[in-house]
A and B are shown apart, each in its own frame.
Chain A
Amino acid sequence: NAGVTQTPKFQVLKTGQSMTLQCAQDMNHEYMSWYRQDPGMGLRLIHYSVGAGITDQGEVPNGYNVSRSTTEDFPLRLLSAAPSQTSVYFCASMRANGNTIYFGEGSWLTVV
């Protein structure tokens, strides 16, 4: 009963380093997305995908890349980490024509 799985759960990066947050879902959902959560700002959409091979930008896409080569996986890449990217990141998925989104457990990222 895995649902949406994110790895790693915790990560500390140095400024300028790159890394990838992994996200996988086993529910055959077409729609996947990445959010970041910062104090006092709720959850903000970074990138989303409506199906394999299709991605689009959300509210705060700068500094992040995504790809969707399979239905199951939707990795988020930080190209050159900055302290402003210190946040909690959530991956989420939803089936097409559905309306309930399912979240992963979150990934805590600190950039020093």
Chain B
Amino acid sequence: AQTVTQSQPEMSVQEAETVTLSCTYDTSESDYYLFWYKQPPSRQMILVIRQEAYKQQNATENRFSVNFQKAAKSFSLKISDSQLGDAAMYFCACSSGTYKYIFGTGTRLKVLA
């Protein structure tokens, strides 16, 4: 069975600073994908970044990057130059070939002006 754990219910960051959100996962599959989704107050689910497990290189998308540690089953999200618009719930997710996405419980990010 797949599990995804986000141990930080809430995080705060000063505007323009950097913050890292943690995620650990467990899966018995050798081929899987990892994701970070952003959910603003509107509740819309927005894909932030995606990582294929077979790729060693960490994914980056502008100010967002991940630290993928496959052996440790860790997948953290780093947000650089934080902006007020980054305030949201962030969900980590894992998907294997069964089409099932398993989500963590989320981390609420507050950005302080």
Is residue B65 contacting chain A, with contact meaning CB distance below 8 A?
no
Q: How far is the CA of A99 from the CA of B34 in the complex (A)?
A: 9
Contact B100 A106 (CB under 8 A): no
Is residue B47 contacting chain A, with contact meaning CB distance below 8 A?
yes
Is residue B105 contacting chain A, with contact meaning CB distance below 8 A?
yes
Give the distance to chain A from B104, nearest Cβ to Cβ, in Å.
Answer: 6
Within B1-54, the residues touching A (CB, 8 Å) are 4, 6, 9, 33, 35, 42-45, 47, 50, 52
Flag B49-71 by CB within 8 Å of A: 1 or 0 each. 01010000000000000000000
Interface residues in B, total, Cβ within 8 A = 22
Contact B43 A99 (CB under 8 A): no
**Cross-interface CB contact of A99 among B4, B50, B103, B104, cutoff 8 Å:** B50
Give the distance to chain B from A46, nearest Cβ to Cβ, in Å.
Answer: 12
Give the distance to chain A from B39, nearest Cβ to Cβ, in Å.
Answer: 9
Within B95-113, the residues touching A (CB, 8 Å) are 95, 99-106
A-B contact count (CB 8 A): 47
Give the distance to chain A from B40, nearest Cβ to Cβ, in Å.
Answer: 12
Q: Which residue of B lies closest to A97 (CB)?
A: B97
Is residue B75 contacting chain A, with contact meaning CB distance below 8 A?
no
Contact B44 A103 (CB under 8 A): yes
**Cross-interface CB contact of B95 among A35, A41, A101, cutoff 8 Å:** A101
Contact B105 A106 (CB under 8 A): no
Q: How far is the CA of A108 from the CA of B112 in the complex (A)?
A: 29
A105 neighbours in B (Cβ, 8 Å)? 42-44
Q: How far is the CA of A17 from the CA of B61 in the complex (A)?
A: 45
A109 neighbours in B (Cβ, 8 Å)? none
A58 neighbours in B (Cβ, 8 Å)? 100
Residues in A lying within 8 Å of B, measured CB to CB: 31, 33, 35, 37, 40-45, 48, 50, 58, 88, 90, 92, 94, 99-101, 103, 105-106
Residues in B lying within 8 Å of A, measured CB to CB: 4, 6, 9, 33, 35, 42-45, 47, 50, 52, 91, 95, 99-106
